[in-house]
Amino acid sequence: MKPFGYLRVDSVDEAVRAAAGQPGAQFLGGGTNLVDLMKLGVETPRVLIDVSRLPLDRIEELPDGGLRIGATVRNADLAASRPVRERYPVLSQALSAGASGQLRNTATTGGNLLQRTRCPYFQDTSKPCNKREPGTGCPARDGAHRDLAVLGHSAHCVATQPSDMAVALAALDATVRLHGPEGERTVPATDFHRLPGDSPERDTVIRLGELITAVELPPRRPGAHSRYRKARDRASFAFALASVGAVLAVRDGVVEHAALAFGGLAHRPWRARAAEEVLRGAPATERTFARAADAELAAAEPLRDNGFKVPLARALAVGVLADLAARD
Amino acid sequence: MSHDPPPEQQTPRLMPPGPLAHPLGAPLVRRDARDKATGSARYAAEHTPPGCAYAWPVPATVARGRITELDIGGALALPGVIAVLTHENAPRLASTDDPTLALLQEDRVPHRGWYIALAVAETLEVARDAADAVHVTYATDGHDVQLTADHPGLYVPERVNGDFPAVRERGDFDAAFAAAPATVDATYTVPPLHNHPMEPHAATARWSNGHLTVHDSSQGATKVREDLAALFKLGTDEITVISEHVGGGFGSKGTPRPQVVLAAMAARHTGRPVKLALPRRQLPAVVGHRAPTVQRVRIGAGRDGVITALAHESVTHTSTVTEFVEQAAVPARVMYTSPNSRTAHRVVALDVPTPSWMRAPGEAPGMYALESAVDELAALLDIDPVELRIRNDPATEPDSGRPFSSRHLADCLREGAERFGWQPRDPRPAVRRHGDLLLGTGVAAATYPVYIGATQAEAHAAADGGYRIRVNATDIGTGARTVLAQIAAAALGVPEDRVRVDIGSSDLPPAMLAGGSAGTASWGWAVHKACTALLARLRDREGPLPAEGITATEDTRLETAERSPYSRHAFGAVFAEVQADSRTGEIRVRRLLGQYAAGRILNPRTARSQFIGGLTMGLGMALTEGSSLDPAFGDFTACDLASYHVPAHADVPSVEAYWLDEEDPHLNPMGSKGIGEIGIVGTAAAIGNAVWHATGARLRDLPLTPDRLLPHLA
Amino acid sequence: MAGGGRPRDAGAPHPVNGRRSALTLTVNGTPHTLTLDHRTTVLDVLREHLGLTGAKKGCDHGQCGACTVLVDGRRANSCLLLAVAHDGRQLTTIEGLADGERLHPLQEAFVEHDALQCGYCTPGQICSAVGVLTEAADGHPSHVTPDTAGSGAPVALTADEIRERMSGNLCRCGAYPRIVDAVEAVAGTAAAGVAGA
C-alpha cells in the first residue's frame, strides 16, 4: 500500500470540491472493499476523502410514498429499517444475505454499490486484467471463471458485480442520486452499473469526482410482494453463485406486475426485461415462470466452467416467483 | 511457557465436589481457556522486543524459471526501510533434509509463490510497501502444474508419507476381480486442500550475544530448533524456540516453515529483532497443502458382500523441490477382508508448491475414496452399508497378518447406528422429499494409526508440596497442557491443581511434535515415566524435601523404538444426514455423528472438542473446500478465505461425537490412542454417501458444490 | 427513522504531513492520542502500537472475523478500518470486556462450554457475540429471521439465528457447536432477565 493523504469533509459540496482539486482522490465510506483492495495494491488512491461522517446517514420518507436512503447508511441499519422490511423486503433480504454481520455494520449504501468484482485475476496485481490495467488481457476467459459471468460479458472482461443489494435495487427500480462538479443528477439503478464492452475498467456510469449521496426507492406497488434468494457455496458469508431479486403482483391468478433481476451472472445486476415481458399478463404458474426465465437466459453465453449458472439462475427465478405467487 | 493452574474461583470446574476424582478421564476445563477467552494468551507475532522491525515477503510471480534481475533500489529508497534480503545478500544457510527451507539461497524459482526476497522496515506498513516495490525480472521455462491420471511423468516412489511402501500386493487381484460376481470400479478425486489454521504462520526472532531466540508458530519447537541449528550452523544450546500458544496447524506447522527461517535470517542480517507474519494469501504456496489425488478403487465381492478383491490405486503430485507422496491407498491395507489386494501409489513432480501434511494425510483422502466405493458396493448388492462393513471386518490386519491390539469398528458401527437412528432406513435413493429438499443418510468408517515419538520429560517435587512437569509439548488447541497435568496427577496420586506444567519451549526437555495424533501418547508416556520415577524416589526418602526439591528426568527412546507385534489403530464410524436443494443443488449437512473407539479418553471435554473439530473439517472437505492450480499461472486459484471456503457457523449444525470405553493394554501407560485426526477421516465419504441416498447422484469429485450436483437434477 | 445515528464529532484528525496524522482513539475507556501513518489499520494500532494483542490478525482482509472489535458498541472487522478515519471513536476489545477479575458472561460461557481450542479466533468470536446480543435485542433481522417476525421487535436467538449471525467468524478447529451452545446459554439468560424484569 502506497502512502496517501487523508481529508475528512463536513459537507457534500466540500467533498466534491476536494475531489475535483486532488488528482488520485477517492472517497472513503466504510472502506470494507476499498481498504481490502488497497492492501492488495489494486486501488492506489493518493488521497482519501472521508465521507463516512457526512450527514447522509438517514432513511427518509419521500412525499410520493417512496424512500430516500442516505449514502452513508450502513448496510445493517438499512436491512433493519422498518419501512424497508415492511415495504421492500427484497432489499432487506438481499442485504442480510450479503457478507457478515461485522461487514454489514461497516459497509455503506454508496460503497456497496461501488464494490468491485471478486474476479481472482482482478485481485492479483501480478497478473494481467483489462479491468485493472486496460489492454493487458483477460486471463479469466480461459482460466478460473467458474464464478464469473454468463451474460453480457465481452472479449475483454468476464467479471461479475458481487453486490447483493444492487440486485434488489435493480428489481425495485431504484434511483441513484449523484452529486458532482457539475451538480446533481440521478441515474436509474438498472443503468448505474455498466456492461464491460471494450472498457471494463469502468464498472459504473459514475463520472470522475461524483459522489453517491442517496438511493431512492419508488413507492411500493400495491399488491406486490418481493423477495431475494441467493445460491452459494457456503451456507453463509459467501458471494452469490447466482441470485434473484423479484417483485411480483398477481391478481386473479394473472401476473399484473413483475420485476426480476439476477445477481452473480453479469458485470451488472441483470434486470430481466425479456422475462418480465413473458410474465406480464400471463397466468402465475410455474410453467410461466420457467418460460420467462428461459426467455431471459436464452441470451446466456456460458464459459467453459460456469454453464451451471444458467440452470441455477433459472431454478432460483422459478422458485422465487412461485413463492411470491403463493402469497396471494 | 509456564502455566500455573488458575485459582479455583476463576475457572469453573465441572468436577463434582467431594472426594478427588481420578484425574485421568475427568472432564477438566482446559488450563489456557481463561487466557484465550480474555485475549491474554500470546501467540508468535504478539511478542515485540524493543527495536523490533517488521518483515514482509516477496513471492515469485512465475511458475518456473530463474531470477535474472532483482531491483531493490526503489524499495530501499522508501523512508523506514531497513533492508531487503535476496539471494544475493541473504545469510548463507547450510543445507538440511528439507529443501523448502533453503530460502533466498539461489536464483531458481521452483514454483509460483516461492519466496525470492524479504523486505524489512521500521513498520508493517512500510515493509508491505517495500515488498511491493521490489522489481524482479525472470527468465522463464515452460511449466506444468496439471495432475492427470495418465501424466507421462508419473512414477512409483520408493516410499510414501509415513514411510510406507508405495506398493503392496497380496494374492492375485486381477484374477479375483475378474471372477467376482459383484464389482465396483470407480475413480474419485480430491482437489488440493489447504490447512488454513486461523493463526497465519508467524515468527519473531532476535539474536542476543550469539543466542537466537524465536517465538514461532509451530507444532514442535524441538524440531524447529534442530533445523535452525543445522541451517545456521549453531549448537542447539545456542537457540531457543518458543511456541507457547499456537493458533492451529493441522499439519502445516509440523516442521519448520519459511517464516521462522526468514525471521532469523533477517534478524541476523539487520541486527534487529524481526517479526514476520505471513500474509494469508501467500500461505497456500509456502506452508504445504494436501496434494490432489485421483484414486481408482476396484472392489470385487461375492453376493453375500464379502470382499474377495480390493485394489486402491492413487495418483498424486509433488513439487520439484522435494518428494512428498500422500499415502491415500494405505488405509486400504488395514480396513477390510481382502485376500487379493493391490494398493499402489504413483506421483508426478510438477512445478507446484510443495505438498505436505494436512490433518490425517493419507487417511482423509484415502478413506473418502474407499468408503465411497464400499457404499457403492452396498447399493449394488442391496446390503445395508453398516452390515456390509461388519461382514468384512477382519480378524487380523489384512496387509501384515498381525493381530490388532484392539479393533472395535463393528461396535462403533452398531452403537453409532443406534445413536443416530440409522434404522429404519429405506435404502432407495431420491425418495425422501421435504418441500424442495431431498433428504438422505450415509455412513462411513474411519481409522487412524497409533503413532508414538520419543520424548523426554522432567518431573519435579518442590519443597512446598507442589509438582512441576517440564516437557516441550505443544498445545495447538488440543488441550495438551490440561491432559498432561492429569496424567502427571494420576501417576503421582496428587490433585491435579498441585501440578504445574511447563510446555512450549525448546529449553524444556525435547519432545515429539504435536502431529500424527501422537502428542498425548508420546508426551504422556514420558511424563508418566518421569512421575513414576519421581514417586519412587520420594518413597525412598525420609524427612522433608531439600529446599531445591527433587527432580526425575526420563525419556522414552527405548520404549518408542520397540516395534509392536500388534497392528494398532483407532477406529470409528461416521453418520451423516444431508439435504440437497432440488432446485439449486445446494447441499447442507443436517446432522453429523461420529462414534469412536480410540483407547482410553483422558479428558472427555477436550477430546469431544477435537472429535467434533475433525468432523467439521471433514464437512468442509465434503462440501465447501477446494482449490485448483491455474494452468496458465501455476498458482492456486483459491488463495484467500473469501474464495477458499472453510465451513462457517451456518454450515455446521448438530455435530456429535461419542466413544466406546476401549481397553487396550498394548499402547502406553495411559491406554490412549490419538484423537486429533480420526474425526476428519470418513466424514467426506459419509456425507457423499448421504448425498447419493438423498439425490440418486453418485458424485465422485470433491467438493460437492452446486455446480457438481445441478447436472444430475431433473 | 434515523439510520445509524452515529455520533458526530467536532474535530478531525490533525495532519502532521501528507501521510501522517495525529488522532485520538478511545480504547476500553482510555483515550490514546497517537500520530499514525494513514495506512495503519485499527487492528495494527491495537496490536503493534498499544500492545493489545487480543484482537487477532487471521486474514487482514475482512474474511475471517478474528479481528472483530466493537466500534461505538457495534462489531466490526478492525483489519479493514483505517485508524485515521476512526479518530474520536470508542473501541472495545476483548481486553475491555471483563470487569477486573470478573469475566464477561460470554467469556465465562466460552470457558465453561469449551467453546475454543487453539484460541486464535476466540476473542473475535466473543466480541462478535457481544454484538450479536445487542443486534438481536435491537430487532435487527438476519438472513434466517422469518419474514413474519415483527419489524423492530427483539429477535429470539435460536441456534439457527446464532449460527447465521456468527458466520463472519471462522473457526478452523471446528468449535462451532460449542460456541453456539455458549452464546445460546448467555442469550437465554439475557432473554430470561428481560422477561423477568
pLDDT on residue A21: 86
Average pLDDT, chain B: 96
pLDDT in tens, A89-111: 999 999 999 999 999 999 999 99
Whole-number Å distance between alpha carbons of B672 and B687: 28
Q: What is the DSSP string of A29-52?
A: SS-TTHHHHHHTTS---SEEEE-T
User: Least CA distance to A306: which residue of chain B?
Assistant: B707
Q: Which residues of B215-250 are buried (b: 16+ CB within 10 A; e: fewer)?
A: bbbbbbbbbbbbbbbbbbebeeebbbbbbbbbbbbb
Residues of B annotated as part of the active site: 677
Mean pLDDT of B665-680: 97
Question: Tens of pLDDT along A259-286?
Answer: 999 999 999 999 999 999 999 999 999 9
Q: φ and ψ at C90, to 5 degrees?
A: -100, 120
Predicted local distance difference test score (pLDDT) of residue A315: 98
Rounded Cα–Cα distance for residues B46 and B245 (Å):
10
pLDDT at C14: 84
C neighbours by CB contacts (3+ pairs under 8 Å): A, B
B521: distance to nearest CA of chain A, Å?
Answer: 36
> Nearest Cα to A263, choosing from A129, A110, A91, A111?
A91
Tell me which residue in A4, A72, A79 faces C141 most closely, judged by beta carbons: A79
Work out the widest C-alpha separation in chain A, in whole angstroms: 62
Looking at chain A, the number of H-run helices and the number of E-run strands are: 12, 12
pTM of the model: 0.97
Per-residue pLDDT tens digits for B395-412: 999 999 999 999 999 999
CATH number for the domain whose boundaries are B33-41+453-555: 3.30.365.10
- What pLDDT, on a 0 to 100 scale, did the predictor assign at position B22? 64
Q: Which amino acid is residue B413, in one-letter code?
A: L
CA distance C109 to C183: 7
Model-level ipTM above the cut of 0.90: yes
Distance in angstroms (rounded) separating the CA atoms of residues B156 and A251: 70
Residues 6+ apart with CB under 8 A from C123: B36, B37, B39, C54, C55, C56, C66, C68, C93, C94
pLDDT band at C196 (very low <50, low <70, confident <90, very high): very low
The domain spans of chain A are: 229-325
Please state, in angstroms and rounded to a whole number, the distance separating the CA atoms of residues A192 and A173: 11
List the single residue in C with minimal CA-CA distance to B478.
Answer: C117
Are the beta carbons of A215 and A187 closer than 8 angstroms? no
Query: For residue B672, what pLDDT is reported?
Result: 96
Map grid coordinates 423492530 to a residue.
C152
In this prediction, residue B8 carries a pLDDT of 38
For residue C163, what are the contacts with CB-CB under 8 A and spacing of at least 6?
A236, B649, B650, B652, B653, C176, C180
| pLDDT at position A47 over 70 | yes
Between the CA of residue A230 and those of A168, A238, B388, C141, C170, what are the distances in Å?
A: 11, 10, 40, 17, 21
B2 pLDDT above the threshold of 60:
no
Does the beta-carbon distance from B132 to A41 stay under 8 Å? yes
Residue C197: the pLDDT is: 37
> Contact B476/C118, CB-based, under 8 Å?
yes
When computed from its CA atoms, the radius of gyration of chain C, rounded to whole angstroms, is 18
pLDDT of residue B23: 78
Distance between CA atoms of residues B616 and C171, nearest Å? 10
Cis ω before A196 (30° cut-off from 0): no
- In this structure, chain A runs to a length of 328
Residue B517: the pLDDT is: 95
Q: Sheet harboring A270-271: ordered strands across?
A: A224-231, A242-251, A254-263, A270-271
Longest dimension (CA), chain C: 56
pLDDT, tens digit (0-9, with 9 covering 90-100), for B525-547: 999 999 999 999 999 998 899 99
Q: Which domains does chain C have, with CATH numbers?
A: 14-96 (3.10.20.30), 105-196 (1.10.150.120)
- Cell for B173? 487381484
Nearest to A235 among B128, B630, B650 (CB): B650
pLDDT tens for each residue of C141-160: 999 999 776 678 999 999 99
CB of B404 closer than 8 Å to CB of B568: yes
Beta bridge partners of B434: B437
Calculate the alpha carbon distances from B548 to A287, B38, B472, B551, C111 in Å: 87, 34, 22, 9, 35
Could you say which of 3.40.50.1100, 3.40.50.720, 3.30.365.10, 3.40.50.880 is the CATH number of the domain covering B400-452+562-714?
A: 3.30.365.10
Percent of chain B exceeding pLDDT 90 equals 96
Asked whether A109 and A71 are in contact (CB, 8 A), the reply is: yes
pLDDT at B12: 34
A326 part of contact set with chain B, CB < 8 Å: no
pLDDT tens digits for range B77-125: 999 999 999 999 999 999 999 999 999 999 999 999 999 999 999 999 9
> pLDDT (tens digit, 9 = 90+) per residue, A150-187?
999 999 999 999 999 999 999 999 999 999 999 999 99
Whole-number pLDDT of residue B257: 98
Give the Å distances, CA to CA, from C92 to C31, C86, C168: 12, 13, 18
Task: Give Cα separations from A208 to A177, A182, A192 (angstroms).
Answer: 15, 11, 14
Q: Give the pLDDT mean for C43-60.
A: 98
Q: Is A316 on the interface with B (CB under 8 A)?
A: yes
For residue B68, the cross-strand partners are: none
Per-residue pLDDT band for B714 (boundaries 50, 70, 90) equals confident
Distance CA A66, CA A219 (A): 4
Straight-line distance from the first to the last Cα atom of chain A, in angstroms, rounded to the nearest whole number: 54
Which of A81, A105, A108 is the best mutation test for C, with the most CBs of C within 10 A? A105
The domain A229-325: what is its CATH number?
3.30.390.50
User: Quick one: pLDDT at residue C42?
Assistant: 98
- Quick one: CA dihedral B114, B119, B125, B128, positive or negative? negative
- Give C193's pLDDT tier (boundaries 50, 70, 90): low
pLDDT of res. B180: 98
Say what the pLDDT of residue C13 is.
87
| pLDDT tens per residue across span B436-469 | 999 999 999 999 999 999 999 999 999 999 999 9
- The model's pLDDT over B116-149, given as tens digits with 9 standing for 90+, comes to 999 999 999 999 999 999 999 999 999 999 999 9
The answer to whether residues B709 and B581 touch, using CB atoms and an 8 Å cutoff, is no
Cell for A175? 434511483
Specify the 3-state DSSP secondary structure of B489. Answer: helix
Residue contact B37–C107, C-beta within 8 A? yes
When pLDDT is averaged across residues A61-88 and rounded to a whole number, the result is: 97
CB–CB of B128 and A316 under 8 A?
no
Q: Which of A145, A265, A312 to mutate to test the interface with B (most CBs of B within 10 A)?
A: A312
C141 → closest Cβ in A52, A61, A92: A92
pLDDT (tens digit, 9 = 90+) per residue, B469-525? Answer: 999 999 999 999 999 999 999 999 999 999 999 999 999 999 999 999 999 999 999
Q: Is residue B2 within 8 angstroms of chain C, CB to CB?
A: no
Q: Name the strands in the sheet holding B340-350, side by side, starting at the edge strand that comes first in the sequence.
A: B167-170, B340-350, B307-319, B293-301, B182-190
Q: By three-state DSSP, how is residue B109 classified?
A: strand
- Mean of the per-residue pLDDT values for chain C? 91
* Cis-peptide into B703, omega within 30 deg: yes
Radius of gyration, CA atoms only, chain A: 19
DSSP labels, chain C = -BS--PPP-S---EESSSSEEEEEEEETTEEEEEEEETT-BHHHIIIIIS----S--SSSSSSS-TTEEEETTEEEEGGG-BGGGGTT-EEE-GGGTSBTTBPPHHHHHHHHTT--SS-SSHHHHHHHHHHHHHHHHTT---TTS-TTSPTTSPPP--HHHHHHHTTTS--SS--HHHHHHHHHHHHHHHHHHHHH-
Report which of residues C152 and B616 the model is more confident about: B616
CA distance B686 to B574: 6
What span, in angstroms and rounded, lies between the C-alpha atoms of C174 and B675?
A: 14
Q: Are strands A211-217 and C14-15 parallel, antiparallel or unpaired?
A: unpaired
Min distance B584 CA to chain A CA atoms (Å): 5
* A290–B contact, CB cutoff 8 A: no
A142 at B interface, C-beta within 8 A: yes
Answer yes or no: do B651 and A235 touch at CB < 8 A. yes
Q: Which residues contact B637 (CB under 8 A, 6 or more apart)?
A: A120, A143, A144, B627, B628, B629, B630, B643
Of B128, B632, B648, the CB nearest to A139: B632
**Residues linked to residue B593 through DSSP beta bridges, in sequence order:** B575, B656
Contacts of C108 in chain B (CB under 8 A): 12
Domain boundaries, chain B: 33-41+453-555, 400-452+562-714
Task: State mean pLDDT over B227-250.
Answer: 98
C194 has pLDDT over 80: no
Selection from A253, A295, A218, A287 nearest residue A63 by Cα: A218
Mean pLDDT value across chain A: 97
Query: Is it the case that residue C9 has pLDDT exceeding 50?
Result: no
